[in-house]
Structure 1
């Protein structure tokens, strides 16, 4: 790591859903947690992966010093955490420790940890508070904000879940200093997504700094400032959408841009692909679909490929997997009956829906992204 960024006061993005909460973005934010927990919480279960044991222990020690009872629960890494067995284990810990509705869960980790911790909180005593400390770029701009919780089944990703907003989120950018390059790059996919659906300046920032972003974790003050602005802008987009549509009745669906095909890729690959890599391919597919349907200009489709490739994200997928992917997409929770639904663009910042596209359009769009299996390291866990 080269030059460290100058200390700045944390930024706060307000989210108004079934409860109002702040997403705090900055550095060295551990001292902010007790203020978020408040005085009514007595017990805290810290849910984390084994790799984050030191971070979890530091949070626990700080909470103990502040007078809280704090316990640790270690869960598997990545999508392996999102199973009913892991949930049942944490329910057992909560029950044996006499957690009440006034107690809370704190998650420390990436998107999978956030998803499962949120689901545990949503289902214990029909809902207790959860606070997220995301440690990956993907989790900071996506999973930790908005209140979607879920676990996977053999039939698909996130098919079991609920909407349960956190009571606070701490995006401590210090965690990104040691984030592996390919995890960082994968997280850029969700940032780029928010640029395409709502904030074109995000795209400009990524394009202007693509080489430096792809070279992460080598960063100077300028790049740190860029990363902070990207996180703030992406969180602000999600906060605005979630505040208007918590339960995905209409507007919130735009956050699924690229995700219909992405979730299918993840399942077909048995979750060996990083989520961001799958979303990258899914966005190019959605852009091609919109172009073929006569709703999107070639230049915007080309911009999808250029910006994603500029940071090292994949834009193609295996040409021999279409039937498998189509079968999975028909079971996707975004479908309605047999009607496939896609979020598409009509222009940058102008998302729309495409329902029940002609099967020939789907095949043609898939042909545009078909290739031999990508070799980029960003695809795999």
Structure 2
């Protein structure tokens, strides 16, 4: 089937997201259109999916690219200075030039790491995102955020670097483990809460079809998620107006859950799921919404076996301290993305620490 195109309109940094199913041969032509002057490609791939890298490399080589491959160990721990330095070393030893294409084949870890290498080597290389997980298809591959983790927090070191293009083949999801697939649905649900009440209702009505990975349902939720993210990124590419911060609904809680639990204990989407419920309960406490909106989120998340609360054994003080390191925090004040109705959220800086602490104390 022909690919669906979702444009991301950013002036000279504009690019296209192609969404297809089982159209591996179309990747090379799409990449050539996006970076017509490139003839070398560094393929960065998650160690768990060599078959996807084989497919990508074969198609690029057939279209005239010289390729090299770097395999990255699976897991959040690979978003590190050590793995970043390894990518820099490969690029320098080749040697790469400013037309060398970096191709990120994998989930959010690979996209963030390879993207940051592309952003920083030679002051910027073209980047092709080839997401292979649902989470990366609907979120991290679009928008230009790249980076690595620091022991003090997730994604503390990074840069904005828009890709030259994003190639999404939903057939890659056929090999995705169930836990990772379900984790990605948390970010899909997020779009419904923050931007599109009708989309949220679609997810409620089609949860069974989505869970069994019905091809039409998956293409629809991926395309709509990309469209919604593109709208936000186009209006606030570098988080300067505050609009893009709405994409972080639930993430102030989620990032500390990931840090306190140890990177990899929870998948990102699992942490986001519990974080959204905490944020919604915080909105209830502030009088912004009724309990019914929180309950709809809880029910939908539970249908996908996603967590709806942090683990009871996690200590609260370190989690509160972690929130003060959140990138949204300003002038020592915690800021949260909170819903005011289904399909609309706001950035609030009037939430006292005591309220956030109470949510954590009662959530588990």
TM-score normalised per structure 1: 0.91
Can you give the 5+ residue segments of structure 1 that lack an aligned partner in the other structure? 1-7, 371-381
The reply to whether residue 351 of structure 1 matches residue 345 of structure 2 is yes
1:109 and 1:309, CA in 2 relative to 1: closer, same or farther beyond 3 A?
Answer: same
Aligned partner of residue 163 in structure 2, secondary structure: coil
Task: Give CA-to-partner distance per residue, 1:328-368, whole Å, 9 cap, x none.
Answer: 11112221132111001100111101214123322332244
Choose the corresponding residue for 2:123, options 121, 126, 135: 126
Q: Report which stretch shifted further, 354-363 or 147-156.
A: 354-363
Q: Report which stretch shifted further, 184-193 or 295-304.
A: 295-304
Q: Which residue of structure 2 lines up, in the alignment, with residue 28 of structure 1?
A: 22
After superposition, residues 251-262 of structure 1 pair within 5 angstroms as: 251-262=243-254
After superposition, residues 194-205 of structure 1 pair within 5 angstroms as: 194-205=191-202
Aligned partner of residue 229 in structure 2, secondary structure: helix
Can you give the 5+ residue segments of structure 2 that lack an aligned partner in the other structure? none
Q: Which residue of structure 2 lines up, in the alignment, with residue 243 of structure 1?
A: 234
Q: Which residue of structure 2 lines up, in the alignment, with residue 266 of structure 1?
A: 258
The reply to whether residue 168 of structure 1 matches residue 165 of structure 2 is yes
1:66 and 1:11, CA in 2 relative to 1: closer, same or farther beyond 3 A?
Answer: same
Choose the corresponding residue for 2:137, options 127, 137, 140: 140
The reply to whether residue 281 of structure 1 matches residue 278 of structure 2 is no
Indicate if the aligned counterparts of 1:44 and 1:70 stay in contact, CA closer than 8 A. Answer: yes
After superposition, residues 1-381 of structure 1 pair within 5 angstroms as: 8-17=1-10, 19-38=13-32, 39-214=36-211, 216=212, 219=213, 223-249=214-240, 250-271=242-263, 272-320=265-313, 321-370=315-364
Aligned partner of residue 25 in structure 2, secondary structure: helix
Task: Give CA-to-partner distance per residue, 1:24-63, whole Å, 9 cap, x none.
Answer: 1111233333333333001100000222222212221222
Counterpart-to-counterpart distance in 1, 2:139 and 2:106: 13
Shift of 1:174: 0.5
Aligned partner of residue 95 in structure 2, secondary structure: coil
Counterpart-to-counterpart distance in 1, 2:26 and 2:157: 32
Corresponding pairs, count: 357
Indicate if the aligned counterparts of 1:140 and 1:171 stay in contact, CA closer than 8 A. Answer: yes
Counterpart-to-counterpart distance in 2, 1:362 and 1:19: 38
Indicate if the aligned counterparts of 2:127 and 2:164 stay in contact, CA closer than 8 A. Answer: yes
